[in-house]
Amino acid sequence: MIKKITIIGSGNVATQLSLAFKRANFEIIQIISRNQKSGEQLAKKINTSFSNDIKGVLKSDFIIICVNDDNISSVVKKLPDIPVVHTSGNTSIEVLKNKKIYGVIYPVQSLSKERKINFNNVPVCVEASNRNFEKKLVTIIKKISNHVYILDSKSRKYLHLSAVITSNFSNYCYSISKDILDQKKIDFSLLKPLIIYTAEKTLYQEPKLNQTGPAKRGDKKTIKEHLEILDNKNYKNIYKLLSKNILKEYEK
């Protein structure tokens, strides 16, 4: 039974996973982080010990690596032979292959340190080096989330790509809109109900059926008028490219 957990990292994922596991009565026995300040803060928050040196790692049942993708392989090299997982969407399980027992737990959510989140609603994708460890991982992740999926590294990479498009690019669209409205001294709040409504529609019907707007309707006159009043060249290019693609998709 996995009971004692070590967390490596002290960023957003480390913070939210620590809190979720603590709430589920796991024992976080140590936070290890190169960042003294945020590491100490997190250790204090969950009332556990802290080390800024990976060589000081204590014995535990299970290590969770929550560091930047680029640093995972160097961290792994320094670890003793304890079952270990990383939490990266875009990194293959192969980066851990020199260990005996290893895996991946990838929470499909944009986590931040400060904003409280109900981890039960966060989908978590699991991959493991063998069937027995996969079972163990599923069992413990089910204690913190109601949505556990088995997904291999290749699929996880596509999921991560899709998450970037769906979340980061949408947010950038919000950001462009706010910039355009700010310049005209129009309150961005006017768009907030529309933003929420558009997102919530994905819960009821697939996005392709939810598409609305001038490009979907083939309304080239409105598209032309929008392009005429858009004076930012970059925004113009984005508007053009996205409209062109939507037009093409729906004229069929």
Site for its own copies in 229-248 (CB under 8 A): 229-230, 234-235, 237-239, 241-242, 245-246, 248
x-or-dash pattern for its own copies, window 156-195, by CB under 8 A? -xxxxxxxxxxxxxxxxxxxxxxxxx--x-xxxxxxxxxx
- Count Cα atoms within 13 angstroms, Cβ side, for 89: 15
90 contacts its own copies (rule: CB under 8 A): yes
Which of 58/164 has CB closer to its own copies? Answer: 164
Which of 132/166 has CB closer to its own copies? Answer: 166
Residue with tokens 């163990």: 136
Which of 110/132 has CB closer to its own copies? Answer: 110
Spatial contact of 123 and 180, defined as CB atoms under 8 Å apart: no
Q: How far is the CB of 111 from its own copies (least distance, A)?
A: 9
Give whole-number Cα distances, 218 to 203, 205, 213, 225, in Å: 26, 22, 9, 14
Q: Looking at 196, 218, 220, 224, which residue binds its own copies (CB under 8 A)?
A: 196
Check the CA dihedral 162-164-167-171 and report its sign.
negative
Q: Which of residues 22-41 bind its own copies (CB under 8 A)?
A: none
42 contacts its own copies (rule: CB under 8 A): no
Helix, coil or strand: residue 101: coil
Q: How far is the CB of 80 from its own copies (least distance, A)?
A: 29
Spatial contact of 175 and 232, defined as CB atoms under 8 Å apart: no
CA–CA separation, 32 and 39 (whole Å): 7
